[in-house]
Amino acid sequence: MKVTREPSKPGVKATTLKMEDEGSYPAGLDEPCRGRKGRRVGDHFGLTNFGANLTELSPSAWSAQRHWHSHEDELIYVISGELCLLTDSSEQVLTAGMVVGFAAGVEDGHHLVNRSDAVAVYLEIGDRRAADECHYPDVDLFYAATGDGHEFLHKNGKPY
């Protein structure tokens, strides 16, 4: 069966794509991530099976609240700068050229923190499974799959 889609787009410099603020957490949980901005590279090309974002993290900013995904694999490739990867069990400094991945369903909360004095840039790639849910071990937050997409809930199931 042939799927009809738009023709392929020509290659572009990723830095020419629109830069967007990446903060989407409920009020009060978004503050540490306000220094995160990204370019939705995968969306530019109409990709639907996985997403790819070119992300810039300002000094002192977090990539996200510490989290893990139920159904989504994640891959991070550091392009420039220095980031601290924090997981349930350790901290590791990541520098340009380093890569780290997180398998779906592994209950190991993780995020990146820019503890340096310069902006860090990384490529993040993840799949887009509708069933994916995201767990946040440090805060009262759960990202739940719903019939219409996803929504942020308190851990007791109450919507934000």
Question: Total domain count for the chain?
Answer: 1
Mean pLDDT for 129-152 is 91
Q: Please report whether residue 89 resides in a domain.
A: yes
User: What CA–CA distance (Å, rounded) separates 27 from 40?
Assistant: 23
Q: Please report whether residue 114 resides in a domain.
A: yes
pTM of the model: 0.91
Q: What is the CATH number of the domain that holds 57?
A: 2.60.120.10
Q: Please report whether residue 65 resides in a domain.
A: yes
Mean pLDDT for 121-139 is 94
Q: Which two tokens stand for residue 130?
A: 């509708």
What band does 23 get if pLDDT is binned at 50, 70 and 90? low
Domain that holds residue 73: 23-129
pLDDT for the residue 82: 98
